[in-house]
Structure 1
Amino acid sequence: MDGLSMSVQYVKGVGPKRAVKLRKMGINTVEDLIYFFPRGYEDRRKFNNISNAVNGEKMSFRVSISGRPNVLRPRRNLSILKIPVKDNTGMAYLTWFNQDYLADNFRIGEKLTINGKVKRIANEIQIQNPTYEKEGSSNKKVGRIVPIYSLTDKLTNNEMTLIVNNALKSYISNVKEIFPKSIIDKFNLISVKEAILNIHFPQSREKFLKSRQRLVFEELLTLQLGLFIIKNKTKSNNKGISFERVDELKEFIYKLPFTLTNAQKRVLKEIERDMESYEQMNRLVQGDVGSGKTVIAVLAMFKAWKSGYQSTMMAPTEILATQHFETIKSMLKDYDIRCELLVGSLSQSKKNEILADLKNGNIDILVGTHAIIQDNVKFNRLGLAITDEQHRFGVSQRAVLSQKGLNPDVLVMTATPIPRTLALILYGDLDISIIDELPPGRKIIETYSIGIGMEKRLIEFIKKQIKEGRQAYIVSPLIEESDTLNVKACEELYERFKGEVFKDFEVGLLHGKMKAEEKEEIINEFKDGKVDILVSTTVIEVGVNVPNASIMVIYNAERFGLAQLHQLRGRVGRGEYQSYCILINEGKSKISQERMRIMQKTNDGFKISEKDLELRGPGEFFGTKQHGLPDLKIANLFTDINILKIAQKEAAEILNSDPYLEDAKYKLLKEKIKDMFKGKTDDIIFN
């Protein structure tokens, strides 16, 4: 055991009880602890005079105790400990709440360094709940830059700082340099040991910036190398299908009731080129809501059918799968192509019939949910595997789908636009196509942010629109991550609207806990115009396409991310009528106001996603665990975009000369990549 892989329990100051708390935070080994980086810092280096104490600010002082402790008890269950202190400029009181026991820790005349929040009450200066150190103490909590860690479970920042400090003293010498000298010299990097020491306990701002740059670059280069290796290995190992050139595709496109945009034509060419080559296609098509990704998928399926192969499309929900099934069937109705839908709510007899026909080759296109990747689903000659809304599926699920055939071409679609550089990280194993143009004639959705106080005016506006023949979605408040609570809120809103507010109209209810048949029935009634207002949870975020619906109302819009608000807005504006999105915002924070401003200002999904990344951070926006990607410990995919670009360029150069890092100088870097991707990619790397 090299020390780093040893249980965190044996670090000085941890022990069995604290080890349990640390494990809940994902810290199991010494290495986990050393790489558990601070989320922020507090600069306690500047000492102030008491006479310059600023009300409301955290400040550091050098003081001596000038009097005896005094404990006040203004009411039951509250005690206030006050200890008088002074410096050359004035006096103040160290104040603690419900911590009387601290009174015995101090003696008149003792010198302290302290850091705490200043509170001026009348002529009295208080330093509340201060961190303190006695003269001669070796435990530096004041007078330095102090790390602030993300903590849970009754572990204090002081405890964590002490534990990390002990771990670094004992084990930093065990950390190995994974970069060869050539990379360190090329990018003028400081050593990894110095970087780790200064990321936890920075000696200066300059040292901190150099340390962070070093660790971010290491993390992003390791990640990018791993993704490029997966991509290269997939391509070299997997001889794909060479599909025929299909001249009838032009005729098929000519018969469409609309003209393809230039962006759609460009992406179709890229897909055709991939399908006709002998390499397996692994391509991501990303485009904004309504940019026309589905028709591109249908054209690829048509090409596969003409070449004698089956196709499949997997969607994350039954609603979306059903929507795709109906669209595909309608577009291919003039051809002898059999499409079927496989979802969990089908009867067992219908499932058995589909499975038998699929295996015998009697089904050309199968659309469904993750039911498609179950073991009992066998294709006769699968040539094309498509996943829609890729952010809902992990890497491994995509891999399982592609294993349903003999290296079928893989097409991945997403309506979550993200900048290309970031897409290279999230979809590093895929080639990327972007549909960055909306079909002509689509009206801009007018978006407004209002307070709950304007609900009455909004209701009158909805009634007026419905009387003119339109329909409306109303998305209920997002309470929290609990489905049960969100459904309850949705049902309460539905009851109020149906029984009181919109009693003269038909109001429907849709949420994720309903049975599949109930969902399908209500969606069909909404499509057919039998329901005027559909009250729903975010289950309608993708897949519901009703051209007559012109109003989207979202309650508690401040609780949603920008990308999700944009997806929800995309449910309207699909027909000839002017459409509206009304965001009911009860948030008072600057971020909440900024989100609403962005939604009102632009309909461009790429701009919105960049802002979402900036405001929410990449972890929340991407949900990297869903992608099957390794967790990033320090790099931020948005703010570190410049380092990411450098890392991508360097990774490409390294692998260009040494595709599988076989040179001895890359030995430790190779191990780091393996470790980073452990359990993420079915051991594709370096097998």
Structure 2
Amino acid sequence: MFDLTQSLSNLKGIGPKRKTVLLEHGVSTYYDLLTYFPRRYLDRNFTKDIILKQGDIVTLFGNIVDSYIVHGKKSRLIVGFRTLNNERINLVFFRGVNFFHKLFAIDKKVVVSGKLEYFKGYQILHPEYEFLTDSDDPDDSIHAGRIIPLYPSTEALKEEGLDSKGLRKLIHQVLESGEITENLPSKFIKKRNLLGRNDAFSKIHFPDSMETVQIARKRFSYEELYYFQRLLLYKQRERQKVKRLLWPLPSSNSRINLEKNLPFELTEDQKTAVTTILSKTNTDSPSAFLLQGDVGSGKTITALLVGLHYIDNHIQVVFLAPTEILARQHYQTIYKFLGNMPFLGIELLLGGENKKSRAEKLSRIKTGESNIIIGTHSLLQDDVIFSDLGLVIIDEQHKFGVDQRETIRAKGKNPDLLAMTATPIPRTLCLTLYGDLNLVNIKTKPKGRKPIDTRWYKEDRRTGVYNSIRKYVSSGRQCYIVYPLVEESEKVDLESCTVAYETLRTNVFPDLKIGLLHGKMKSAEKDFVMEKFKSGEIQILVTTTVVEVGVDVPNATILVVEHAERFGISQLHQLRGRVGRSDIESFCILMTGDFISEEGRDRLEALVTSNDGYYLAEKDLAIRGPGELLGVKQSGLPEFKIADLVADRELLEEAKVDAASIPLGDPEEVSELRIRFSEGKFLFAN
């Protein structure tokens, strides 16, 4: 048994320079080195005593016999390589010609891997390679004649001899130092058929087969997920230590009055959601919920009904929205429902307001005159001070970072949190990201809503699409035409959107009223355009994804998405939710060019065949992975070293069950969890 937290200085071959460069890459201890996992593996079991065939993937051991540069339109390096069977194979390099010319010196021993091709003799283009020294025995080596690991590397590491070969030597040295202590309960190792920790480290770095790699990987994935779940239990326990200061009323007269006067009937899911949330607010610790509901399922009214139980007890409620358009939408919706109850005090706080107006609003918020405060990131500013904030409602919560969520909560008196999302999050991600939140789902949509007819057309159908738009708009309907806007090409995208607007306005629909809306417009301009669209003055709205979330115009029944292949499934489903908001038949038209990638085809076909946001979220997760799906910048995803939230979803469920079956009692584990929580690491050193 030995201590994995000891410094790398104890290893042979680690001098000051190597120690510094490893430290820059987050590697300072034996543990850091052992968890610097391979990025992939190369099968270097040598191809011996076989007839070489074009197209075969081979791994061969031999010597360099010559090398020369062939000059022409494009220079290339030819390196003569001779196998143990005396076969000559040319190694061909089109890039880094001078570098490789120096590197592949005559008589050097080398292992090469790659695809065998034939052109005036056998050749391999840009092979994988590894040089061996005279002391390296090709039949008994950590570097060749076996499956070898390839590690993430940089120029800085390579300059210090810490390429894959150099790192393998160091890792082999650590593994030879002694037995590594087990850190998982033995009953779970047995129950889940896991490798022991010592074996797992050995097999993941020096496997005897690719099957062994997967068995070792499973062990460490489980370990990360198990300790992450223990961390969530720790967070829940810490949250429960905080005592409630403000109590919502068990019964709310305002809620009873509102429900009586609603112009529609609540769905069973909405009623259940309200009851479920309120039932958990009668404990002496603040509660936290994630309210998931597909587009158009009625989350806002659900959240408002919950909020009235606080407001009737003079407790303030905040609605935090990611965009001004959505904040205004919430304000208008809530005002429409509560306008005949002026004593409730509804406030809209946005950025860019004049000083006098903002100061008046801030005063009303501070004194408690305003009870429902709706706004954007402007609510996070230091000058916003609440009287008695007891419920924070965050819409499209995945668009806010963890720090922003905590900033708004810190302005209250241990407030409850109700995070809402119209992007259904797959169960796997919910367990990971929001394991410390109570999950509440609204799956049914309001009565009378029809499924949206979604169709995918290529450029040759454009004339027909325009004819259909004209037909429906002329009969009194309205239409969105959405263009993509992505960060990398924002300028070009915006240009294409504005150019398309001009073309549509002057050439395609000169007799119809067309408006333009995009995120670069000033707030007043955006509001003006949206009001004209809502009132029906604008018949066709050409826009970017600024309309993705929350905009509610029931008369808009046609949505055309241009360059639909550039959007993810969840974003397309969100956009589709701008139509189908009444009992009128609605259409979503996905327009693309003729050439679509296989992945793009999968996404579009999924949209055409399903209106179920939960199914589509799972599909999106499988295609794009969690980081892409949620947006890496704001997702709050933990940085697992080896666990994969798509591939390991069953393992996550098992780890959750196991982690919850043992109480958090050991002070040493709690201390370690506290450290891991602050560092965001879930593999434990010892």
TM-score range, shorter chain: 0.7 to 0.9
Amino acid at match of 2:167: V
Aligned equivalents of 1:350, 1:103: Cα separation in 2: 72
Aligned equivalents of 1:141, 1:342: Cα separation in 2: 63
Cα 1:219–1:100 change in 2 (3 A) is same
Cα 1:243–1:36 change in 2 (3 A) is same
Amino acid at match of 1:357: R
Amino acid at match of 1:119: E
| Residue aligning to 1:563 | 570
2:533 aligned with 1:535: no
| Residue aligning to 2:410 | 403
Aligned equivalents of 1:19, 1:146: Cα separation in 2: 26
2:653 aligned with 1:651: no
Alignment of 1:185-200 (within 5 A): 187-200=192-205
| Residue aligning to 1:286 | 292
| Residue aligning to 1:83 | 80
Q: Which runs of 5+ in 2 are unaligned?
A: 682-686
1:51 and 1:90 in contact (8 A); partners too = no
Amino acid at match of 1:568: L
Aligned equivalents of 2:225, 2:572: Cα separation in 1: 30
Amino acid at match of 1:573: G
Cα 1:350–1:7 change in 2 (3 A) is farther
Alignment of 1:611-626 (within 5 A): 611-623=619-631, 626=634
1:314 and 1:372 in contact (8 A); partners too = yes
Please point out which of 212, 221, 224 is paired with 1:219: 224
Q: Secondary structure at the match of 1:252?
A: helix
1:64 and 1:85 in contact (8 A); partners too = yes
Aligned equivalents of 2:50, 2:15: Cα separation in 1: 37
Higher mean alpha-carbon deviation, 264-273 vs 190-199, is at 190-199
Amino acid at match of 2:314: G
Deviation for aligned residue 1:150 = 5.7
Aligned equivalents of 2:49, 2:509: Cα separation in 1: 65
1:293 and 1:413 in contact (8 A); partners too = yes
| Residue aligning to 2:505 | 498
Aligned equivalents of 1:361, 1:260: Cα separation in 2: 30
Alignment of 1:394-543 (within 5 A): 394-481=401-488, 483-543=490-550
Amino acid at match of 1:290: G
Cα 1:111–1:426 change in 2 (3 A) is closer
| Residue aligning to 1:161 | 164
Deviation for aligned residue 1:38 = 3.3
Please point out which of 93, 96, 111 is paired with 2:93: 96
Deviation for aligned residue 1:627 = 4.0
CA deviations over 1:584-608 (Å, ceiling 9, x no partner): 2345322111111111111111111
Amino acid at match of 1:596: L
Aligned equivalents of 2:15, 2:556: Cα separation in 1: 59
Q: Secondary structure at the match of 1:349?
A: helix
Q: Secondary structure at the match of 1:51?
A: coil
CA deviations over 1:383-427 (Å, ceiling 9, x no partner): 322111111123332222223222222211111112334312211
Aligned equivalents of 1:240, 1:594: Cα separation in 2: 50
| Residue aligning to 1:610 | 618
| Residue aligning to 2:325 | 319
Cα 1:185–1:595 change in 2 (3 A) is same
2:581 aligned with 1:579: no
CA deviations over 1:277-314 (Å, ceiling 9, x no partner): 43322111111111111111111122222222221111
2:325 and 2:551 in contact (8 A); partners too = yes
Q: Secondary structure at the match of 2:126?
A: strand
Tell me the TM-score normalized by structure 1. Answer: 0.87
Amino acid at match of 1:204: S
Amino acid at match of 1:677: F
Deviation for aligned residue 1:184 = 4.3
Please point out which of 372, 376, 386 is paired with 2:383: 376
Equivalent pairs counted in the alignment come to: 666
Cα 1:151–1:443 change in 2 (3 A) is farther
Amino acid at match of 2:225: L
Q: Which runs of 5+ in 1 are unaligned?
A: 682-687
CA deviations over 1:173-212 (Å, ceiling 9, x no partner): 5976543555545545434344334334433233212211
2:149 and 2:205 in contact (8 A); partners too = yes
Cα 1:482–1:106 change in 2 (3 A) is closer
Aligned equivalents of 1:341, 1:426: Cα separation in 2: 30
Aligned equivalents of 1:540, 1:205: Cα separation in 2: 48
CA deviations over 1:132-171 (Å, ceiling 9, x no partner): 5458546755533244556677988996413432442455
| Residue aligning to 2:373 | 366
Tell me the TM-score normalized by structure 2. Answer: 0.87
Higher mean alpha-carbon deviation, 352-361 vs 299-308, is at 299-308
Amino acid at match of 2:41: Y
Cα 1:107–1:380 change in 2 (3 A) is closer
Higher mean alpha-carbon deviation, 555-564 vs 263-272, is at 555-564
| Residue aligning to 1:73 | 71
2:292 and 2:424 in contact (8 A); partners too = yes
2:143 and 2:165 in contact (8 A); partners too = no
| Residue aligning to 2:234 | 229
Please point out which of 621, 628, 641 is paired with 2:649: 641
| Residue aligning to 1:53 | 53
Aligned equivalents of 1:512, 1:281: Cα separation in 2: 35
Q: Secondary structure at the match of 2:678?
A: coil
Amino acid at match of 1:58: I
Aligned equivalents of 1:536, 1:64: Cα separation in 2: 63
Amino acid at match of 2:675: D
1:553 and 1:583 in contact (8 A); partners too = yes
Aligned equivalents of 2:559, 2:153: Cα separation in 1: 39
Please point out which of 247, 250, 267 is paired with 1:242: 247
Q: Secondary structure at the match of 1:286?
A: strand
Question: What is the alpha-carbon root mean square deviation over aligned residues?
Answer: 3.4
Deviation for aligned residue 1:495 = 3.4
Please point out which of 383, 392, 398 is paired with 1:385: 392
Higher mean alpha-carbon deviation, 417-426 vs 385-394, is at 417-426
Aligned equivalents of 1:37, 1:654: Cα separation in 2: 29
Aligned equivalents of 1:140, 1:454: Cα separation in 2: 60
| Residue aligning to 1:269 | 275
Aligned equivalents of 2:624, 2:212: Cα separation in 1: 27
Please point out which of 141, 144, 147 is paired with 1:145: 147
Aligned equivalents of 1:54, 1:22: Cα separation in 2: 45
Cα 1:100–1:188 change in 2 (3 A) is same
Aligned equivalents of 1:276, 1:73: Cα separation in 2: 81
Cα 1:239–1:107 change in 2 (3 A) is closer
Q: Secondary structure at the match of 1:207?
A: helix
1:81 and 1:100 in contact (8 A); partners too = no
Deviation for aligned residue 1:619 = 2.1
Cα 1:153–1:348 change in 2 (3 A) is farther
CA deviations over 1:500-559 (Å, ceiling 9, x no partner): 333333332222222222221221122122222222222211121111212222222222
Higher mean alpha-carbon deviation, 153-162 vs 30-39, is at 153-162
Aligned equivalents of 1:608, 1:374: Cα separation in 2: 36
Cα 1:525–1:237 change in 2 (3 A) is same
Cα 1:247–1:391 change in 2 (3 A) is closer
1:115 and 1:132 in contact (8 A); partners too = no
2:115 aligned with 1:117: yes
Deviation for aligned residue 1:265 = 1.3
Q: Secondary structure at the match of 2:559?
A: strand
Amino acid at match of 1:635: A
Deviation for aligned residue 1:568 = 1.1
| Residue aligning to 1:333 | 339
| Residue aligning to 2:554 | 547
Cα 1:631–1:305 change in 2 (3 A) is same
